[in-house]
Amino acid sequence: MIPRYSRPEITAIWEDEFKYNTWLQVEVAVIQAWADHGEVPRKDADLIAQHAKVNIDDINKYIAETHHDVTAFMRSVADSLGPESRWVHLGLTSSDVWDTATSLQMMAAADVLLGQLAKLREVVGRQALTHKDTICVGRTHGVHAEPTTFGLKLAVWVDELKRHEERLKQARATIAVGQMSGPVGTHATVPPAVEEAACKHLGIAVAPVTNQIIQRDRHAAYVSAIAGIGSSMEKFATEIRGLQRTEILEAEEPFTAGQTGSSSMPHKRNPELCERVCGLSRTLRGYAVMALEDVALWHERDISHSSTERIVLPDATGLLAYMLHIFTGVMDGLVVYPERMTFNLERTQGLVFSQKVLLALIESGMSREDAYKIVQRHSMAAWDQQTPFRGLLESDPEVTTRLDKAVLDKVFDYRAYLVHIDSSFQRIGLL
C-alpha cells in the first residue's frame, strides 16, 4: 500500500520480514510435529527451533537465481543450520507453508481491524448518547419526512458496526486453519497426525480436507467481510458529507487550525476525509470481486490466485485499517450544530407533523381516505404558499370541529417523537 494510505500496524504484517519469519514458524511447527511422532530426532528438531533464521537479503538474492520464493527461503534457512537442515520442509509442498502462513497473517491483520472496529463503535456510541435527544429532521429520498434525533441516527451505526465485528470474527475463524497435506493433498508424504500436531503447535485448526491449497472460498469470505465494513463506512461518511452541505450544515467533520480546503478559495471547509473514505470503499469492493474470482482454480491448484492475493490481502486489510483510523478521528471530533438542526426542521412550516394530524383525525372518527385528503390539501398549500401548516388547519372547520387546541398542541410537539427513543438505545446496550 502506498505510504499515504498505510497504517504501520498492518504494513508490518505483510512485510517480507514478518512473512518469511511466519513461514519459518510453520516449518518449525511441522518439524516439532515430526519429532513428536518419532520421525525426526528430538535433538535436531530442537536445534532447528533454536537456531533457524532467515536473511531477507539472501532470500532476494536466491530468488533472482531460483525464481521461486519457497526454495529461496529454504536455502536461506539452511544457511543458518548444520546437517539438521535436512529435516526442513520434510514432506511438504510450497502451498503447505505459504497458505498456512498466510492464514496466520490474515488472523493477525483481523485482530488489528477488530480492535479498530471496537474503538470506532465506542466513539460513535459516545456521540449517539450525547445527541440521543438532539432533535433533527429525518429525511427519506432526501426530502423532509418526520422528526428524529441525531443520536438515533448514530445508534443505527453502532448496531451496524457490532454486526460487522461479528462478521469479521467469523471470517477470522474461517481462515484460522492450516494444511500440511503434501502435493495435491493426499497426505502421502505427511500423515494427518503430523498435520494435526503442527496446527496445534501453531494454535490453529486443521483444514479438514484439502487438495494442494487451502480453498479460496475462505479468503473470499474474509475479503468480502472487509468490503462490507468499507461499504458501511461509506454510508456513514456519505451521511456526514450530506449534512455538511452549506444549505444544510447540521454537522461537519473537524477542521484543524492551519488546514486549507482549496488552493483558490480560502473559505472552503470540505468533507475531504469522508470523501476519502467513500473513494477507498469502492476500492475494497473491487478487491472483494478479485477474491471471489480466485475461488475457481484449475484441478488441484493453479497459481493464478497468487499474484492477486499479493496485492489484495495486504491492500484490503491496510486500506480498511486506514479508513477506520481516519473515520474514528472524524467521529471523535465531529462538529454538530443543534440550532441548525432546529432551523432546518422548521423550514417546512410544520409539515413534518402531517402524519400526526392524519392519525388524530382518524382517531376522531374520520375515515382514513377523507383525513388523508384534508391533510394533503393543507400540506400542499403550506408548501406552495410558505404558510404555517398549523394555521391552515386551524382555519378549516372540518379539522377544528374534531381537533381542539389542546389536541393540536399535543400533535405539534417535537417531544412526542422522543417517547420511545430510549428503547432503541437499550436494545443495543447503549443504555
- Count of positions (residues) in the chain: 431
**Cell numbers of 271, please?**
468533507
Clarify whether 281 is annotated catalytic.
Answer: no
Best CA proximity match to 291, nearest among 301, 279, 304: 304
Q: Is 141 a catalytic residue?
A: yes
Q: Which of 51, 68, 262, 395 is catalytic?
A: 262
C-alpha cell at 199: 496446527
**Residues 78/85, Cβ–Cβ less than 8 Å:** yes
Considering 141, 267, 299, 420, which one is annotated as catalytic? Answer: 141
Residue 247, SS3? Answer: coil
Whole-angstrom CA distances from 277 to 112, 315, 329 are 18, 14, 12
- 48 vs 32: CA distance, rounded Å: 9
Give the separation between CA 392 and CA 84, rounded to whole angstroms: 94
User: Which residues have a Cβ under 8 Å from the Cβ of 35 and sit 6 or more positions away?
Assistant: 41, 42, 44, 45, 46
Residue at grid coordinates 527451533: 49
CB 28 within 8 A of CB 52: yes
Let me know: does 101 contact 310? Beta carbons within 8 Å.
no
In this structure, are strands 143-149 and 135-140 parallel, antiparallel, or unpaired? antiparallel
Q: What is the DSSP string of 173-206?
A: HHH-EE----GGG--SSS-HHHHHHHHHHHT-EE
**Residues with active-site annotation:** 141, 262
